[in-house]
Structure 1
Amino acid sequence: MMAINELLRSLEEKGIRLGLNDNGNLKIRGDSEKLTDALIAELKMHKSDIISLLKKSQPFGQLTDSERDELQSTFPEELEDAYPLSALQSGMVFHTELADFDGTYHDLNAEHVRCEWHENFFRQALSYCVTRHPLLRTGYRLKGERPLQLVYKDVPLPLVIEDIREQSDAEQAEHIEQWKAAQKAHPFNWLRGPLFQITIFSTSRRQF
């Protein structure tokens, strides 16, 4: 018997995709003439399992009815999707809280860019990235039946800009190191997110 994932992969290779119609029934997109008798037989055999899998892949499809009702009443029109946290995510949150945000799981990455700083262009690019990637619009709801990852339709841009051009090179270096030490222990708002931040230090006219 062909496994469901293998079946879906075989269909996709033929340009055929499966979906659900408004009534929750299976819908076939693509060139149905490429469906062989063997594939049709496999589709019929696994129909109920495929429908269940597709339902889970839809927005809010991995939630229980009570979880959906709660989120609908708590975050009306705010969410694009929600699904359970993975075991790894839950563990990292637990240990971060246990260690009182000591920075163990808080990564800081820096790039020294040599070009003119254009705030408007950067904001536009960052806004595009946040809109395109749901992961950049998520928060964690830790209360309720189980921890959930919430995908918001929109979030404020987590962008902070500091102009330190008037400082000497040594002062700039010390300023940034002090910022890193403080930022490492920054407590993010799990629920509202976003769970990342970008800080720009403008160090001269042609570098940041």
Structure 2
Amino acid sequence: VTLAELDQLVERTRDIGELENVYALTPMQKGMLFHSLMDAASGAYFEQTTFDLRGRFQADIFQDSLNHLAQRHEIFRANFISGWQDEPVQVIFRRKDVGFSYEDLRHLDDQERDAYVKEFIRQDKAAGFDLSRDALMRVAILRTGDEDYYFVWSSHHILMDGWCVALVTDEVFEAYFAAVEHREPKLALVTPYSQYIEWLEAQDVEAAASYWKD
């Protein structure tokens, strides 16, 4: 990316946030971006996990823990820009919060609450993601009782796969409990995703193709 091209990209994304990095997509990401743009309504790469939590819970601290995750892992501060120059790029912002919402449903009776949750899940999936602008992971917490909470955790597959969900939720809850207990979270060192992109671009494509053909 030249300085002139970078200036154009900065101008294009100015209303989203300040750029930290710009790099290429992996072949897998390119495929997902292509199919997402071809049929945005299909929901093919929309991932949604739901679960219940019971106990004392502080939603504001949990939101802070989600944003702590995004600051540690640049992929959660990414958007994907197509139709710019010859190749799509992933743009990393210095600050981009994870999508978050909280609703208290305790005023509804059981039947109304169940219907509301079901419709919320449907609408959340129907909304999908704008890969060029949205926070590509979002968490909604629906309070269903005094100590009962229902989580709707959604993300786009271009950020992470199903194997990552447990790792990500473990890290967020470790940060949450650390904040509640007034201690430092015990978290592993982070390897930036950009290092994988750099390694990938350094590979000999012809040699790799020959290996798999053999």
TM value normalised by structure 2: 0.61
Matching residue within 83, 90, 106 for 1:143: 83
Name 2:129's counterpart in structure 1: 188
| SS at 2:135 equivalent | coil
The one-character-per-residue Cα deviations of 1:8-57 (angstroms, maximum 9, x if unpaired) are xxxxxxxxxxxxxxxxxxxxxxxxxxxxxxxxxxxxxxxxxxxxxxxxxx
Name 1:102's counterpart in structure 2: 42
| SS at 1:107 equivalent | strand
Name 2:166's counterpart in structure 1: none
Amino acid in the other structure paired with 1:125: S
Name 2:192's counterpart in structure 1: none
Name 1:117's counterpart in structure 2: 57
Report the aligned-residue RMSD: 2.1
1:98 & 1:70 partners in 2: Cα distance? 25
Unaligned runs of 5+ in 1: 1-62
2:5 & 2:128 partners in 1: Cα distance? 26
The one-character-per-residue Cα deviations of 1:70-103 (angstroms, maximum 9, x if unpaired) are 3345456811111112222222222223223221
Amino acid in the other structure paired with 2:112: E
Question: Which protein has the larger Cα radius of gyration, Structure 1 or Structure 2?
Answer: 1
Is the 2:98–2:137 contact (alpha carbons within 8 Å) kept by the matching residues of 1? no
Is the 2:46–2:128 contact (alpha carbons within 8 Å) kept by the matching residues of 1? no
| SS at 1:174 equivalent | helix
1:71 aligns with 2:9: yes
Amino acid in the other structure paired with 2:36: T
Moved more, 129-138 or 66-75: 66-75
The one-character-per-residue Cα deviations of 1:128-173 (angstroms, maximum 9, x if unpaired) are 1111111111101112121000100112441011111122233222
2:11 & 2:82 partners in 1: Cα distance? 17
1:175 aligns with 2:116: yes
1:74 & 1:95 partners in 2: Cα distance? 23
Amino acid in the other structure paired with 1:168: D
Matching residue within 24, 29, 32 for 1:92: 32
2:34 & 2:114 partners in 1: Cα distance? 34
Is the 1:79–1:150 contact (alpha carbons within 8 Å) kept by the matching residues of 2? yes
Identity %: 25
1:104 & 1:175 partners in 2: Cα distance? 24
Cα–Cα, structure 1 residues 201 and 175, in superposed 2: closer, same or farther, change >3 Å?
same
Amino acid in the other structure paired with 2:77: R
| SS at 1:113 equivalent | strand
2:124 & 2:11 partners in 1: Cα distance? 34
Cα–Cα, structure 1 residues 144 and 117, in superposed 2: closer, same or farther, change >3 Å?
same
Structure possessing the higher relative contact order (Cα contacts under 8 Å, 6 or more residues apart): 2
Amino acid in the other structure paired with 1:70: Q
Unaligned runs of 5+ in 2: 150-214
